[in-house]
Structure 1
Amino acid sequence: MTSNRLQSFLQDNIADLKERGLYNEIDPLEGANGPTVEIDGKQMINLSSNNYLGLATDDRLKKAAKEAVDSHGAGAGAVRTINGTLDLHLELEKKLAEFKGTEAVISYQSGFNANIAAIPAVMDKHDAILSDALNHASIIDGCRQSKAKIIAFNHSDMDDLREKAREAVESGAYNKIMVVTDGVFSMDGDIAKLPEIVGIAEEFDLITYVDDAHGSGVLGKGAGTVKHFGLQDKVDFQMGTLSKAIGVIGGYVAGKSELIDWLKVRSRPFLFSTAVSPADAAASTKAVEILMTSSDLNEKLWANSDYLKSGLKQLGFDTGSSETPITPCIIGDEKATQAFSKRLNEEGIYAKAIVFPTVPQGKGRVRNMPTAAHTQAMLDEALTAYEKIGKELEII
């Protein structure tokens, strides 16, 4: 028997979300997530994927995945600490450590898992975490699970961070203090001020944690935000995902060997969740090898990003403070944002509306993600649609 209270709760709240333009419609793809996608039988130019380098559909990765299934099976069969650690997982971790310039790496089932694994494994109720106000939800959840005191500092405000670090240290209330930030902020596309953050961390002996989900494969000639600033020896935790620029699935933390050893015996997703499949591990390793031997995809990504962003700005759209391929067109009102995205779809451009709670209320935007796989003709078609709809809806 279904609970009447549950039914009432669900019906009322779903109706409320729809009324306020906050209900997210899921559009299943009928095929691969490439530069174009098919939805409901319609081909559209895809500007909503995190597949920055086009590797999700790369033949080299597909070949590696198929060979791994043949040699190692469809699944890992167990958690890493029992007998789910395959030689493929070790090869991936070794290659990632080389790529990130650290002593060692531990891999997880997702980037989200990496954050909720690593932060609580080191921080506890006797500690404090200084967290950027715009950090990703997985960072927030990892901080909450640690039970440490969470002290938010204003987004990329180094004066606020320094003051709050000083207060936390001088209070004498905490055993350890960590500062955690995204490397690239996923909704606005701006880059963390890592040199300043590291300087403050050294001043107050803070643990440093960088979530580089949107920086790996993008900045630092592909090696990420930390490498972009040459700070590999200054950051304690480099967290990354294998589901965006790498094009597969999984997450990891890179750092000193002692840190990685500790995470292997104390991080709960590593201890209690089955390892990623052989295909995922092998394909991810192949992607990292590609990035380590060629900058072609990275250069194409940036060329396409610059072209689209410049075109949108010339049309009069507000792309915010983005410094990366993440290219928001900030509309503001949630209903207007949803309407804009719907019209883009009708014109053959798939670009999702992003509204509260993913971004603050009144900051709705259509988030564009150009990739290395897009052609200039595709981007021109997208710009033509943006100009048409922007004028039609009186956005520009």
Structure 2
Amino acid sequence: MPFEFIAQHLQARKEDALLRQRQLVEESNGRFIRIAGKQYLNFASNDYLGFADELVTVSELPLGSHSSALVNGYNKPQQALEQRLCELLGYESAMLFNSGFSANSSVLKALFNDKAVAQSAAIFQDKLNHASLIDGGLHSQAAMVRFNHNDLKHLESRIQKSKAKHKLIVSEGVFSMDGDKAPVAQLCELAHNYNAWLMIDDAHGFGVLGKHGLGSCEVHKPDLLIITFGKALASSGACLLASKSVIDYMLQFNRDYIYSTAMSPVMASSTRVQLEKILAADNKRMQLFKNIAYFKTLAKAKNLALMDSDTAIQPLVLGDAAQTVDVANKLKQCGIWLTAIRPPTVPFNTSRLRVTLSSAHQLDDINTLVDTLVECL
């Protein structure tokens, strides 16, 4: 029978405790989530500053952008958002995307779309980079070289062995599944020393890290910076910031941007409102890091083996996928919503409970979480 592989692959995923399913969210805010009529304490959200449930009021704008940005879909709210981000982050130019995945993957594909250029190009990627970055590298024309996670010596040795003329180092600012931070300053220095470029995806750092909440790259600027709006900003979409020549190049060769309907004026304007909130969110950031420290202190006292992370992402690796799903289900029965993260999102034998904290969480919420974790484990 044609396409019988679909049922076979689904059954295999089910047997390996890797089958993914969507859950319909009926209601949610910074602390709670309601699913199938039951309310849970929510420790699985990327809404790090608790902005997602706040209403945003913008002036009356058309919902649609009509077309792609290169036809007639580029409008003033988009331009205003790009210009404000350039001003804040210190870049010449920017371009908006409808998702972070699209931005990451398409930039790498477009940058090395020329086969003649790609023959003398290499992309050096951290082994724990997000799937969007890995996909972009695999689908580009350049050679892709992986280096051990946050291992600068291994990266340097890989670069030294490379004969590529065009070298691009790619890393996340905050790693989405481990919660640790990239050594951005050292990566910038290494790139400079070897005449390479650096690209950082700061999806989980922007809005949270830095003196002004501008992320992992607030001080040290990579050549290409991608920020996404769906985490701390509590909006949707993404932005590439770079030199004017790079953005002009992307306008010619980035197929995702060229052939996608442009970001809605309403979304661009709403994101601009959220951006100003981020800049004024020092108290929320302070509360978030208090919550992180409190959780880590309690977890250590209860002998919970957390990974080495000082960010809002606090993984608890259990290893076995079936066991991780079982613990996540027990937590749900106790009123805690905490997602089991399994392969291929993370390497095999590293399935984990990925705790994400928010400034909206109260200390009693964290007490409940830790006590319930101990009970269910």
**Same fold flag (TM > 0.5):** yes
Q: Which amino acid aligns with 2:50?
A: G
State the alpha-carbon separation in 1 of the partners of residues 373 and 77 from structure 2.
44
Give 1:225's aligned residue: 216
Query: Is it true that 1:16 corresponds to 2:3 in the alignment?
Result: no
Deviates more, 1:368-377 or 1:352-361: 368-377
Query: Is it true that 1:166 corresponds to 2:160 in the alignment?
Result: yes
Give 1:175's aligned residue: 165
Q: Which amino acid aligns with 2:66?
A: G
1:250 is aligned, of 214, 237, 260, to 237
Measured against aligned partners, the alpha-carbon deviations of 1:21-75 in whole angstroms (never above 9, x if no partner) come to 111232110023532010000010111111111121123xx223xx3xxx22222
Q: Is the 8 A contact 1:217 1:291 kept in 2?
A: yes
Deviates more, 1:342-351 or 1:253-262: 253-262
Give me the CA root mean square deviation: 1.4
Q: Is the 8 A contact 1:95 1:289 kept in 2?
A: no
Where does structure 2 lack aligned partners over 5 or more consecutive residues? none
Deviation at 1:384, TM superposition (A): 2.1
Matches within 5 A, 1:101-250: 101-124=90-113, 125-126=118-119, 127-168=121-162, 171=163, 174-221=164-211, 222-227=213-218, 230-232=219-221, 235-250=222-237
Change (3 A) 1:32 1:76: farther
Deviates more, 1:159-168 or 1:25-34: 25-34
State the alpha-carbon separation in 2 of the partners of residues 90 and 362 from structure 1.
45
Query: Is it true that 1:86 corresponds to 2:75 in the alignment?
Result: yes
Q: Which amino acid aligns with 1:37?
A: I
What is the SS of the residue equivalent to 1:106?
strand
Q: TM-score, normalised by structure 2?
A: 0.95
Deviation at 1:152, TM superposition (A): 0.6
Q: Which amino acid aligns with 1:347?
A: C
Q: Is the 8 A contact 2:124 2:170 kept in 1?
A: yes
Give 2:2's aligned residue: 5
Give 2:347's aligned residue: 360
Deviation at 1:320, TM superposition (A): 1.1
Identity of aligned residues (%): 31
What is the SS of the residue equivalent to 1:89?
helix
Deviates more, 1:267-276 or 1:254-263: 254-263
1:347 is aligned, of 319, 329, 334, to 334
Q: Which has the higher helix share?
A: 1
Q: How many residues were matched structurally?
A: 371
Q: Is the 8 A contact 1:47 1:369 kept in 2?
A: yes
Q: TM-score, normalised by structure 1?
A: 0.90
Where does structure 1 lack aligned partners over 5 or more consecutive residues? 391-396
Runs ≥4 in structure 1, deviation > 3 angstroms?
A: none
Deviation at 1:259, TM superposition (A): 1.9
